[in-house]
């Protein structure tokens, strides 16, 4: 499960930093966020390991880091 947690952290960082370095219109930005964030879940699904527990560990890794970058670095949610 640790690998899923770490993959979630990586996805959260990647999707938030994409926004920081590539400011796009909101529709394109939202699509890029979803694609980067969801790509880890797609990989887990293709590996036939997607369960509620696996998705939960992935999200526990991704969401806090992602939101922290939005609040602290980007400043768009503050």
Read off the pLDDT of residues 50-73 as tens digits, 9 standing for 90 and up. 999 999 998 898 888 888 887 887
Question: Looking at beta carbons, which pairs linking 67-76 to residues 24 or more positions away fall under 8 Å?
Answer: 69/12, 69/13, 69/16, 69/17, 69/20, 70/16, 70/19, 73/16, 73/20, 74/16, 74/19, 74/20, 76/19
Amino acid 78: pLDDT? 62
Amino acid 15: pLDDT? 80
Amino acid 57: pLDDT? 92
Question: Given a cut of 80, is residue 19 above it in pLDDT?
Answer: no
Residue spans per domain, the chain: 2-74
Structure tokens at 49: 């390991």
Whole-structure pTM value: 0.77
Amino acid 46: pLDDT? 92
């Amino acid at each position: 499960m640790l690998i899923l947690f770490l993959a979630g952290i990586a996805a959260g960082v990647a999707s938030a930093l994409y926004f920081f370095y590539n400011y796009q219109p909101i529709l394109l930005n939202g699509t890029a966020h979803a694609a980067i964030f969801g790509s880890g879940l797609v990989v887990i699904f293709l590996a036939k390991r997607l369960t509620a527990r696996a998705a939960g560990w992935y999200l526990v890794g991704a969401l806090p880091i992602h939101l922290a970058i939005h609040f602290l670095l980007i400043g768009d949610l503050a």
